[in-house]
Each structure stands twice: as structure tokens, then as C-alpha cells.
Amino acid sequence: MLPADVPAIWLRDNCSCPDCRDPLTDQKLFQITDLPDDLGVANVRPVDGDEEGWEVVWANDGHVSRYTAEWLQRAAEPDPRTEDGKELWGTAARFADGLPETTWAAYLDDDAERLRMLQAVARLGFCLLRDVPLRDGQAQQVALSFGYVRETNYGPQFEVRVEERPNNLAFTNVAITPHTDNPYRDPVPTLQLLHCLVNEAEGGDSGLVDGFAAAAALRAQEPAAFAALTGTSVPFAFRDDTTELSAHRPLIAADPAGRVREVRFNNRSLGTLRLPAEKTEAFYAAYRAFARLLLAPERQLDFRLGPGDCLVFDNTRLLHARTAFARGGARHLQGCYADLDHLFGTIDVLKRKEAQPC
């Protein structure tokens, strides 16, 4: 039988008949306010057919809806953008047996390999593509292989190398401690790609830190600090000769159920909080506790990008860093931003192809 506690409104709203959902677009054709307040079931009968299911006749208008038992019992899908959809890695030891990586050729030629790489970004926060052609604009080509480039004031792509008059410390040779990019932007770019063209400098190594793992650790160790960070909007700001950007967002953004969904951490662009003294003290104590976790050396996965390596990582979750390098040393990365929505979408399209081979 139809489970007794299934809400009628939920059943009716999910009717999949061609009058309720457009067969071409699968879009719902009625408004929720089109359903009557006194929605009632007139009759429920088992459906004839191979698959177990029920046919519901609605009392008010005689509309008929069908539901399979499989559909009715389906479990909720977790939000894959929260910690629930991730494999958190607290320390670099997780990658003792190697990084999630493949060659550009394998990624292009083999759907299974492409799926494995994109799933690594979804689950672990990053992947590394090797032997990516040493061509100008190639980071954007990588982004276009699963989604779209997000252009910003830094351009459709940006050059990470020493500049004469940098508008950002990234474009100098100093060490950059772990951070997420562009926290002063909303929407923040959810993905970053860094393609190494030259790295002959002494130093200039890369590091990644799992911000979700650190946030989960903070919640376990100091729940009040976690609550202070999820509960405080912080101003971030950036300005140069032609640009002004600011965003008010928490360092740890949780979904309505309290699951970690986005981390922003960037000492360089944190603006000035204007809160009552007590809240300010609580925020700073929590900020320092979170920073100590994020900056603990054992949390940082260090590796060196060589020419042809393209790192793709989740900028809502992973912090990235680089060591200082000798001022004369040649180091040139090209980067661009992109977004997670289409990366996840490409994963789902590849899974669909896998399930229905032609």
C-alpha cells in the first residue's frame, strides 16, 4: 500500500503525467497555488504492470497520478556541495599513494578517466592534469572541457608571475599563505584552474589545505567558535586603480541544516569588522582558532607544479598557497576561474552516458 504518512500535497506536486510536466522540457506546468487547499485522495489502486506502483485519483478534480514503489521509497540525495558529499582529508597523508591525476590526452580521450578526474574535484576538491599543452590560453580550454570561464576584473585569464606594479600580492614573488581566492566577490568563483607554463625558480611550490576538514575539526573541538564563524558576516574588500569590490560573507557558510558548504579565508582582504566589543572578541578568538587549524603544516599537501601541469580545484573548499621564490627565477602560471555547477553537471551527463551506452 501507499505509505500512510505520505503528505497528499507532496504527492500531488510530484505528479509526472504529461499534463503536469512538459514532456519536452520536463518542467512543471502548474503553480503550487493551483492546487486546492482541501486536496484529498478519492482512491488509490495498485498499478497493473511489471513495476510495483500505485495510481492515485484526486478527489477535487478526478486527476490521476501514478507513482512507482521505487520512486516513493527513493532516499533523499545529499547536497553534493556540502561536506556530506565530500571525502574530507585532514592531512596530506591521505595522498601518500599519489595525487588524483591523469594526462590531458587520457582525460580527453576516455570518458571514464574524465569522470574520475571531475569526481576527484567533487569529492576531494582537486585534480591534477599532466602534459597539458604549453599554449597561451590553455587553462581556459581546460575549463571549457567541463564548463565555462568566469571572467573577472583580472580578465578571462590571469598571469601569475612577478609584475612591475602588482595590484595583488599573488603577482609578486613573496610567499602566499593558504587562502581562498576572491572572497571579496559574491558570487565567488567556485573553481580555480592554474596551468604551469614555466617553473624554474628556486621555491614557488604549491600547497593545498582542505578547508571543510578544518571547519569540521573546529566544530568538533570548539563548537562555540564554529558557531561564531558561521554566525558572523565578515566584510572582505579589494581595490585597485580601476576596481572596487566587497562582499559580506561568513568565513564558514553552513547550509540550513548546519552542514559546511563554503569556506572563505584570506587574511589579505579581510576588511574591518564593526561589531559590539563582545562579539568582536568572540569572532577573533574563533578566527584565530580556525586559522591555527588551517595553517597547521600537517594539513597542507605540498607539491610542485611543473610545465604542463594544470591544477583544478574547488575554491569554495580548498585553500591554496605557494612558497616564496627567488626574484630572478622564471615562474609563470596562467590561471582562470570557472564554476562548480557545470563541473557537477558534466559528471551527471557522463554518468548518464555510462548508464545508457549507445
Q: According to CB under 8 A, which residues from 261 to 280 bind a copy of itself? A: 267-270, 272-275, 277, 280
Task: Determine if 250 is a binding residue for a copy of itself (CB under 8 A).
Answer: yes
* 193: nearest Cα among 103, 311, 306: 311
Q: Which residues in the 100-139 window bind a copy of itself by CB under 8 A?
A: none
- Whole-number Å distance between alpha carbons of 339 and 152: 13
Q: How far is the CB of 129 from a copy of itself (least distance, A)?
A: 22
Among 93, 243, 297, 302, binds a copy of itself (CB under 8 A): 243
Give the x/- contact pattern for a copy of itself in 188-227, rule: CB under 8 A.
x-x-------------------------------------
Task: Determine if 327 is a binding residue for a copy of itself (CB under 8 A).
Answer: no
Contact assessment for residue 319 and residue 208, using Cβ atoms and an 8 Å cutoff:
yes
Task: Determine if 256 is a binding residue for a copy of itself (CB under 8 A).
Answer: yes
Q: How far is the CB of 103 from a copy of itself (least distance, A)?
A: 26
User: Distance from first CA to last CA of the chain, Å, rounded?
Assistant: 37
Query: Toward a copy of itself, which CB reaches closer, 128 or 149?
Result: 149
Q: CB count, 10 Å around CB of 63?
A: 16
Task: Determine if 27 is a binding residue for a copy of itself (CB under 8 A).
Answer: yes
Q: How far is the CB of 156 from a copy of itself (least distance, A)?
A: 9
Q: Which residues in the 58-97 window bind a copy of itself by CB under 8 A?
A: 74-77, 79, 81-82
65 forms beta bridges with 56
* Amino acid identity at 318: L
Task: Determine if 244 is a binding residue for a copy of itself (CB under 8 A).
Answer: yes
Give the x/- contact pattern for a copy of itself in 29-48, rule: CB under 8 A.
xxxxx-x-------------
Among 1, 352, 355, 358, binds a copy of itself (CB under 8 A): 352
Q: How many Å is the Cα radius of gyration of the chain?
A: 25
Q: How far is the CB of 281 from a copy of itself (least distance, A)?
A: 5
Query: Toward a copy of itself, which CB reaches closer, 47 or 245?
Result: 245
* CB neighbour burial string for 305-318, b if at least 16 within 10 angstroms, e if fewer: beebbbbbbbbbbb
Q: Which residues in the 283-302 window bind a copy of itself by CB under 8 A?
A: 284, 287-288, 291-292, 295
* 267: nearest Cα among 237, 231, 230: 237
Q: With H, G, I as helix, E, B as strand and everything else as coil, classify residue 197.
A: strand
* CB neighbour burial string for 247-277, b if at least 16 within 10 angstroms, e if fewer: bebbbbbbeeeebbbbbbbbeebbeeeeeee
Cell of 248: 559580506
